[in-house]
Structure 1
Amino acid sequence: MSWKAIDALDDARDATTSLLLPFDAGRWARLAFIALFIGGLGGSGGAGSNTGTTAPTGGGSTDIPTDSLPGFVTPENVFAAVIALVAVGIVLWLVWMFVGSVMQFVLVDAVVTKDVHIRKPFRERFWLGVRLFGFQAGLFVAVLAVILLPVAAVLLGSVAVTPAVGLLAIPLVFLAIALLFVVAIVMQLTTDFVVPTMIAEDRALLSSWGRVVPVFRAELSEFGLYVIVRFILGILASIAVGIAALLALLVVAIPFAIVGGGAFLALDAANVALFSTAGLVVFGALGVLFVLAAIAVGAVVQMPVVTYFRYYSLFLLGSADDSLDLVSQFRSDDDSSAPEGPTPA
């Protein structure tokens, strides 16, 4: 017995190879930019280790001399800056999520046509992205409300904290975990199958869900296997991407370490404090450049994986329903040749 969810793996591999090879820097850069918003930043957790330079060594003090700080650095200004940064961070996160919603459609257009562009398909798919973002945001708010409602009831005093309430919290925790798991599957199915359906039949999001649900029911075992395979491959790919990104970052960090060391020696020779305005500007600029380099490296490393998974879902969807097959011309079944790669842009 042949499983469509397994056969689609080989088709996705062939299609991904034909899209990415022969190597074209412009195409890779555009795909990496798209993948940046879709795949997330797997290596961002490593940035926290750079803040550990104040750990005590020996018995020395870790306090920063306040007389070396600029005059505008006061507790009030620091608090205001933290609040402002949090607000800006939330806004940037929402913008990032919205752009990522539109990029889901841009990626489908790119892998289907093998003509990778960003601006034109972004404009064309803008309102589809708005609908996807609204759906994701609404689902997120609903789940958050369900999870936080019992917590709010306790904190606001509506429910007294008793041993019975404490015991009730245990199944609620497991219920919340199960709810998050279901929501994660719904979100995955939405981006993998509903988004292509919206493009294939020019439907709204909820209408597209209504369109693919019968397909899911008819091929329940195939899509169930897809969820399992996609989950396992996602874990393995995350590990591989993380290792590759870490190795690449080590190489990228070498010139920054050299420049940073030279800047430190230059400031020390000029009797300029490290936490002076000049020092903060120099090392702040280096830090920003390194973060941008890390983001670029992460995007390039994860791009082939993001592309492969999108092809995987498209090939399975097309196998389950011919009218939703956006990649029929790329199939290698029946001894047909593998898809030819695009001409360099």
Structure 2
Amino acid sequence: MAWHAVRAAGESVTATRTLLSGASLAAWLRLSVLVAFVGTLVTPFLVDFNRGASLLPSIPETAMPAVLAATLVLAAAALCVGSVFEFVFLDALRGERVRLLEGSTRRFRAGLQVFGFRAALAVPAGGVLASVVLFDAPTALVVAAGVLAVALAAIDHLTLAFVVPIMLVEGCSLPEGWRAFSPTLREEWREYALYLLIAAALWGAIALGGGLLGALVAFAVLVPFGALGTAVGGALVTQGLARTVVGHAVIGTLLGPYLLVVVSLVLLVHVPLITHLRYVALFVLGDTEERYDPIPGIRAAIRRG
């Protein structure tokens, strides 16, 4: 057996380097916007897990329904945008110019199908998760919930990694894309099982590496912002203003720009990481079913080299 997934992991490094080395700053910025929705929404960078659980008790019970409703709406909107951006990102990986608005308009109907499918997967996953969290679930239910979560995550990932490229290449609907992909999946199930293991390992590396890089970026950006805040705050205090008032004013003024700079830089860091992960899937798809190869030119150029 060829084990295309192993070969793809190496070739994707070359494809990523070739794509990004020739990209302009504007293209990098557009790619970072795409990555924010197709990659880093599930990447735990700059997250304080110790304080995360303490946020819910601080919300008044009367406001909890409104908070949950707003959270669901925002999550659905992000999922919808991300589903459309999957096609736009794939266009960019195939060498097309990155155009967010035009690409989203062109791929909106296909993205809406993917959004509906992913939302349908999220409903049972959310229900099982809520039952495990809110109730004293027995061990058997927890294990079953874990198995279901893994199965649904695998289906979701196979859809994004392989069915979406087939939809783009063939210009077909989501059900037609799955019907086209299913024979290849059954015939080459070992290849795709290995790919899922490699993809999970790469996601773990991205989560860990992205988190560490994000922390370094946050600290590096904090130095100039801290120096600026100290200088401005010291100047205001010498004018007779209260130190507490000055501190709150400086923090309130600089916090927004600081977070904007940190998030922008972290997303730029994630661009090559997510790009490499997606190229792995595209190489595997073309090697197992040449008819649906979304990057034949890129593949041929790398292998000639």
TM-score (norm 2): 0.85
Match of residue 2 from structure 2: 2
1:147 offset after TM fit, Å?
4.6
**1:199 aligned to 2:168?**
yes
Q: Is the 8 A contact 1:43 1:245 kept in 2?
A: yes
Question: SS state of the match for residue 45, structure 1?
Answer: coil
**1:258 aligned to 2:210?**
no
**1:221 aligned to 2:223?**
no
Larger RCO (CA under 8 A, 6+ residues apart):
1
Match of residue 12 from structure 1: 12
Match of residue 95 from structure 1: 77
The structure with the largest alpha-carbon Rg is 1
Match of residue 139 from structure 1: 121
Match of residue 36 from structure 1: 36
Match of residue 292 from structure 2: 324
Equivalent-residue separation in structure 2 for 1:254 and 1:149 (angstroms) = 44
1:151 offset after TM fit, Å?
7.8
Equivalent-residue separation in structure 1 for 2:270 and 2:192 (angstroms) = 24
Counterpart pick for 1:271 among 213, 231, 241: 241
Query: In 2 relative to 1, CA 334–186 (structure 1 residues): closer, same or farther, beyond 3 Å?
Result: closer
Equivalent-residue separation in structure 2 for 1:86 and 1:259 (angstroms) = 38
Match of residue 157 from structure 1: none
Structure 2 matches for 1:52-91, cutoff 5 A?
A: 88-91=70-73
Query: In 2 relative to 1, CA 115–198 (structure 1 residues): closer, same or farther, beyond 3 Å?
Result: same
Question: SS state of the match for residue 97, structure 2?
Answer: coil
**1:112 aligned to 2:94?**
yes
Query: In 2 relative to 1, CA 335–317 (structure 1 residues): closer, same or farther, beyond 3 Å?
Result: closer
Deviation sequence 1:139-190 (CA, Å, 0-9, x none): 11122234546888x7xxxxxxxxxxx7x71111111111111111111111
Query: In 2 relative to 1, CA 333–216 (structure 1 residues): closer, same or farther, beyond 3 Å?
Result: farther
Counterpart pick for 2:181 among 202, 207, 212: 212
The aligned amino acid for 1:12 is: S
**1:296 aligned to 2:298?**
no
**Gaps in structure 2 of 5+ consecutive residues:** 52-59
1:88 offset after TM fit, Å?
4.7
Query: In 2 relative to 1, CA 333–34 (structure 1 residues): closer, same or farther, beyond 3 Å?
Result: closer
TM-score (norm 1): 0.76
Query: In 2 relative to 1, CA 169–82 (structure 1 residues): closer, same or farther, beyond 3 Å?
Result: closer
The aligned amino acid for 1:91 is: V
Question: SS state of the match for residue 94, structure 2?
Answer: helix
Query: In 2 relative to 1, CA 185–251 (structure 1 residues): closer, same or farther, beyond 3 Å?
Result: same
Equivalent-residue separation in structure 1 for 2:197 and 2:213 (angstroms) = 24
Q: Is the 8 A contact 2:162 2:285 kept in 1?
A: yes
Query: In 2 relative to 1, CA 256–144 (structure 1 residues): closer, same or farther, beyond 3 Å?
Result: same
Question: SS state of the match for residue 314, structure 1?
Answer: helix
Query: In 2 relative to 1, CA 150–24 (structure 1 residues): closer, same or farther, beyond 3 Å?
Result: closer
Equivalent-residue separation in structure 1 for 2:170 and 2:85 (angstroms) = 18
Equivalent-residue separation in structure 2 for 1:298 and 1:307 (angstroms) = 14
Deviation sequence 1:112-158 (CA, Å, 0-9, x none): 13422222111101121111111111211122234546888x7xxxx
**Gaps in structure 1 of 5+ consecutive residues:** 50-77, 155-165, 338-345
**1:230 aligned to 2:199?**
yes
The aligned amino acid for 2:186 is: R
The aligned amino acid for 1:24 is: S
1:81 offset after TM fit, Å?
8.7
- Which structure features the higher share of helix residues? 2
Query: In 2 relative to 1, CA 333–294 (structure 1 residues): closer, same or farther, beyond 3 Å?
Result: closer
The total of aligned residue pairs comes to 298
Match of residue 45 from structure 1: 47
Equivalent-residue separation in structure 1 for 2:178 and 2:241 (angstroms) = 66
Report which stretch shifted further, 30-39 or 40-49. 40-49
The aligned amino acid for 2:289 is: D
Query: In 2 relative to 1, CA 316–149 (structure 1 residues): closer, same or farther, beyond 3 Å?
Result: same
Equivalent-residue separation in structure 2 for 1:309 and 1:288 (angstroms) = 31
Equivalent-residue separation in structure 1 for 2:131 and 2:227 (angstroms) = 52
Q: Is the 8 A contact 1:42 1:298 kept in 2?
A: no
Q: Is the 8 A contact 2:11 2:302 kept in 1?
A: no
Q: Is the 8 A contact 1:8 1:315 kept in 2?
A: yes
